[in-house]
Amino acid sequence: MAAVRRAHATIPEAIALIASHFIATREIEEQANARMLAEIGRFCAYLEALGLDALDAVTESQVRDFVAQPIQRRGGLWDEASISTKHTRRSAVRLLFRTARSLHLATSDPSIDVDLPPRSSRKTRPLTDDEEALGRIWAQPTLNSTRHPAAWALAQATATSSELAALRVGNLDLDNQRVWIQGNENSRNPRWGQLTEWGVQRIEARLEAIGDAPDRPLVTDALASRNSAQVSATTAISEILQAAGLSQEPGIVPSSLPAWAGRKVMEDTERIDLAAAALGVRSLDQALDIIGWEW
């Protein structure tokens, strides 16, 4: 009966349940949580103004209209929403419907085919905070899944696909919320990668599933060849991006997640040398290119 009641929840009831879910699971960081929930709240106010009372009544056209709504500036003037604002709004709506579906509060997602111009002309770019939050939600397709969340957690700590494939249980230092990333001979230096609080929880769940033998790979098969292990690690991140609806976005690839982590270091410290050290790259110019930073 609980599932039936949820399926017929009003929009305010659905939003309350979704907000409680975010807080209880800590699936997105507090800052991203507040921003995304604010956009979700605006979207729901828009739906209520239209007279809608259920998420399944929302159409793709209504999502497009919300995403494109102009911005009111001080003095009462209205400006067209920027590309970045439109992307943030669409990510919030995607997060709303994907979470609503997982909680049996909706059966459809009208945001799926809402296309926007790319945020950047770069061939690859870092995830934004709202995109990373969306990926984090979809890193765990089932309650018993541990491999995909662990892969996302380690990539949050700057591990690239080739580095993910090499990570073992013995590389973890969960007491200090970090993992030793061995680097690779081509481009990355060995370093400590900082796990998020969410990442620590997902790694702990992974250890419960696979055991604590130091040589046990964290996200790949112990018997896989080096190439197969790297493909497997790349596929894990790619599958999450696809589930979150991000794989079709220009510039988003598996390396966009470690790049997000490097950009966070730059934003927090305003020091490109610390961002380069966190990423394990060997030049400041390379770090700037990875995080897409423009002075």
What does the pLDDT look like over 148-191, one tens digit per residue?
Answer: 999 999 999 999 988 999 999 999 999 999 999 998 876 789 99
pTM over 0.85: no
DSSP conformational letter for 184: B
Q: What is the per-residue pLDDT for 25?
A: 67
Query: What letter represents residue 73's amino acid?
Result: R
CA atoms of 43 and 4, how far apart (whole Å): 24
Q: Which residues contact 52 (CB under 8 A, 6 or more apart)?
A: 11, 58, 62
Is residue 68 within 8 A of residue 107, CB to CB? The reply is: no
> How many CA atoms within 13 Å lie on the side-chain side of 77?
5
Report how far apart, in Å, the C-alpha atoms of 227 and of each of 153, 230, 231, 239 are: 21, 5, 6, 18
Domain-wise residue ranges, the chain: 2-102, 129-291
pLDDT at 239 over 90: yes
CB atoms within 10 A of CB 103: 17
- 3 has pLDDT over 80: no
Among residues 106, 105, 110, 68, the alpha carbon closest in space to that of 89 is found at: 68
Q: What is the CATH number of domain 129-291?
A: 1.10.443.10
Give the tens place of pLDDT for each residue, 85-121: 898 899 889 888 988 888 889 998 999 889 888 776 6
Contacts of 104 (CB under 8 A, 6+ apart): 3, 6, 7
Q: Please give the C-alpha separations between residue 5 and each of 22, 56, 227, in angstroms, as whole numbers.
A: 20, 14, 48
Give residue-wise pLDDT tens across range 66-75.
Answer: 999 998 777 7
Q: What is the mean pLDDT of residues 245-261?
A: 91
